[in-house]
């Protein structure tokens, strides 16, 4: 399996630290608001990666944090804490906000068939762990105290910009327009590990620490939650591309400084979902959530299908027109599966099954090419194979794609059957069918006068007959 690794900037062969096992860490949501469908694109593609690794036979352990403290409005340690901002907006406590939006996040994930990671850790439950690692970083000379806060000293590293050949001047961290730099920092790339003082509104949630009462920075939480649950060597770390810098860059800095060796081998970054006016965000434009799509009548799984049709390393443009097109394609796909369900089942041909499965795997082995994997699914539909083989393949691929294909097609078929049954129990329909049968018999008996009489009588009632090789069909006009 080849996977693009942001660290090496190329597709690398995936080799886990321990044969057969994969440790995977995902940056979780900041629970100050609903997740928008851009955030959820990242989680859908990470879910596909996890499910494909499991499908390929790996024993995967996936861990995710919930950011309920420390994430400031600017990723570069500036501005108000996002949680506090959410609490003020809704006139609730930070913990109430965290609980509400954590539940909302998992409810959205369930609608999109995103599996909940094996371990989910709210940052506020790991304060002792953060303090332990920060103490060790101070001890090792990688962190310093200034103005009441603890900072990571990036000048102590051999290489700080691990993902890109960024030039320092291109990344004027903390000196964005309208945002003053933090004069406590020795180097502009230094970042906060622990706050006790902030010029912004104070945190509601604070904990005692060796440096005074305060709260952790955002980056330290992911390093600690990952190391504590997945050990010193991580296989895959995931997140949206905006997290590569500074968040993941800082995670690597502090984790490797703490461990004294390389920490994570593969960095999987999902590119953004954009609208026509740019990157989707919670603060600008229409706030696109799963609930909003549902309110507008869209099936959330169509959004998942829409995401799968493009590569995770390409920006994806969302528009209702694109989602409408995906809906049409998805409904056609289901209709084709319904047609297969109606066919004679036959036997599962295992050679044929393996051949198509290999095509599906080939697509995903090539850096998670989900759109080619979907093409492999379409190829199965038109393959020269038994219905049983096709259904078995669709169900098998759906372990990864998670579109509930066969289940939804079965529901459609049931609805179709019960509508047909309802129709056949209708006295009006029964009367028409009886007249058609009588006409059929009259024709057989060469009693054409009666046959025409019936046809004309039906026509007068708005019933048009069409003689087909399988018998007369009728419609009401
Ligand atoms: P947040 O809740 O802001 O911490 O973000 C949760 C996840 O969504 C992170 O992995 C982000 O990198 C990712 N993300 C944020 N915006 C987008 C977007 N427009 N498209 C895709 N992923 C995004
Ligand atoms: Zn993170």
Which residue lies with its CA nearest to atom 15 of ligand 1? 39
The predicted model scores a pTM of 0.88
Q: Is ligand 1 within 6 A of the CB of residue 38? A: yes
Position in ligand 1 atom list of the atom nearest CA 27: 10
CB environment 286-316: b (16+ within 10 A), e (fewer):
eebbbeebeeeebbbbbbbbbbbbbbbbeeb
CA dist 319 and 301 (Å) reads: 16
CA dist 274 and 434 (Å) reads: 59
CA dist 96 and 188 (Å) reads: 35
Position in ligand 1 atom list of the atom nearest CA 29: 2
SS3 62: strand
Structural tokens at position 253: 């800095």
Exposed / middle / buried, residue 148 (Cβ in 10 Å: 0-12, 13-18, 19+): middle
CB distance 249 to 219 below 8 Å: no
For residue 253, give every residue at least 6 positions away whose Cβ sits within 8 Å of its Cβ, in sequence order, or none.
Answer: 152, 154, 157, 160
pLDDT for residue 175: 39
Q: Is ligand 1 within 6 A of the CB of residue 42? A: yes
Per-residue pLDDT of the chain (477 residues; tens, 9 = 90+): 999 999 999 999 999 999 999 999 999 999 999 999 999 999 999 999 999 999 999 999 999 999 988 777 766 666 778 888 888 888 998 899 999 999 999 999 999 999 999 999 999 999 999 999 999 999 999 999 999 999 999 999 999 988 876 555 555 443 334 345 788 899 989 999 999 987 666 677 889 999 999 999 989 999 999 999 999 999 999 999 999 999 999 999 999 999 999 999 999 999 999 988 777 776 666 689 999 999 999 999 999 999 999 999 999 999 999 999 999 999 999 999 999 999 989 999 999 999 999 999 999 999 999 999 999 999 999 999 999 999 999 999 999 999 999 999 999 999 999 988 888 888 888 889 899 999 999 999 999 999 999 999 999 999 988 887 777 888 888
Position in ligand 1 atom list of the atom nearest CA 71: 4
Q: Of 66, 80, 74, 72, which is closest to residue 30 (Cα–Cα)?
A: 66
Tell me the CA–centroid distance for residue 471 and ligand 1, in Å. Answer: 58
Which residue lies with its CA nearest to atom 9 of ligand 1? 240
pLDDT for residue 429: 86
What length does the chain have?
Answer: 477
CA dist 339 and 409 (Å) reads: 9
Fold of 296-416: 1.20.120
Tell me the CA–centroid distance for residue 43 and ligand 1, in Å. Answer: 9
CA atoms 396, 401, 403, 409: torsion sign: negative
CB distance 219 to 191 below 8 Å: yes
pLDDT for residue 278: 76
pLDDT for residue 465: 87
Q: Specify the CATH number for 16-270; select among 3.30.460.20, 3.40.50.2000, 2.40.10.220, 3.40.50.620.
A: 3.40.50.620
Domain boundaries of the chain, sorted by first residue = 16-270, 296-416, 426-476
Which residue lies with its CA nearest to atom 3 of ligand 1? 30
Distance of alpha carbon 257 from the chain centroid? 32
DSSP-H helix ranges across 172-230:
218-230
CA dist 156 and 150 (Å) reads: 15
pLDDT for residue 169: 52
Kindly report the number of other CB atoms within 10 A of residue 14's CB atom: 19
CA dist 465 and 195 (Å) reads: 81
């Amino acid at each position: 399996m080849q996977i693009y690794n942001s660290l090496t900037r190329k597709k690398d062969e995936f080799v886990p630290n321990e044969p057969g096992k994969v440790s995977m860490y995902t940056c979780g949501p900041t629970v100050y608001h609903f997740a928008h469908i851009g955030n959820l694109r990242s989680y859908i593609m990470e879910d596909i990666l996890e499910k494909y690794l499991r499908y390929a036979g790996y024993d995967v352990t996936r861990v995710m944090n919930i950011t309920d403290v420390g994430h400031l409005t600017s990723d570069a340690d500036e501005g108000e804490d996002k949680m506090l901002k959410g609490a003020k907006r809704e006139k609730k406590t930070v913990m109430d906000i965290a609980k509400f939006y954590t539940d909302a996040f998992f409810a959205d994930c369930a609608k999109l068939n995103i599996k909940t990671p094996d371990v989910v850790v709210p940052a506020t439950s790991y304060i002792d762990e953060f303090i332990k690692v920060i103490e060790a970083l101070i001890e090792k000379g990688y962190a310093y105290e200034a103005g009441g806060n603890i900072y990571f000293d990036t000048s102590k590293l051999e290489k700080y910009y691990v993902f890109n050949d960024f030039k320092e001047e291109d990344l004027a961290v903390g000196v964005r327009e309208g945002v003053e730099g933090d004069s406590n920092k020795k180097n502009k790339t230094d970042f906060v590990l622990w706050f006790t003082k902030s010029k912004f509104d104070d945190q509601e949630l604070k904990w005692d620490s060796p440096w005074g009462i305060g709260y952790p920075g955002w980056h330290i939480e992911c390093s600690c939650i990952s190391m504590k649950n997945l050990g010193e060597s991580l296989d895959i770390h995931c997140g949206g591309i905006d997290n590569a810098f500074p968040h993941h860059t800082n995670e690597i800095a502090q984790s490797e400084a703490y461990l004294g060796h390389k920490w994570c081998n593969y960095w999987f970054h999902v590119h953004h979902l954009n609208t026509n006016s740019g990157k989707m965000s919670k603060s600008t434009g229409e706030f696109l959530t799963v609930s909003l799509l549902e309110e507008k009548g869209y099936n959330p799984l169509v959004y998942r299908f829409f995401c799968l049709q493009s590569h995770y390393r390409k920006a994806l443009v969302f528009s209702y027109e694109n989602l409408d097109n995906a809906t049409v394609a998805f409904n056609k796909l289901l209709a084709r599966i319904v047609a297969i369900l109606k066919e004679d089942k036959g036997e599962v041909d295992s050679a044929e099954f393996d051949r198509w499965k290999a095509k599906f795997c080939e697509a995903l082995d090539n850096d998670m090419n989900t759109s080619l994997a979907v093409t492999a699914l379409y190829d199965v539909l038109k393959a020269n194979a038994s219905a049983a083989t096709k259904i078995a393949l669709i169900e098998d691929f759906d372990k990864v794609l998670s579109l509930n294909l066969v289940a939804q097609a079965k529901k459609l078929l049931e609805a179709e059957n019960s509508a047909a049954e309802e129709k056949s129990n209708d006295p009006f329909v029964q009367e028409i069918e009886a007249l058609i049968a009588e006409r059929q018999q009259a024709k057989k008996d060469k009693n054409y006068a009666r046959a025409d009489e019936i046809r004309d009588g039906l026509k007068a009632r708005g019933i048009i007959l069409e003689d087909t090789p399988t018998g007369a069909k009728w419609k009401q006009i």
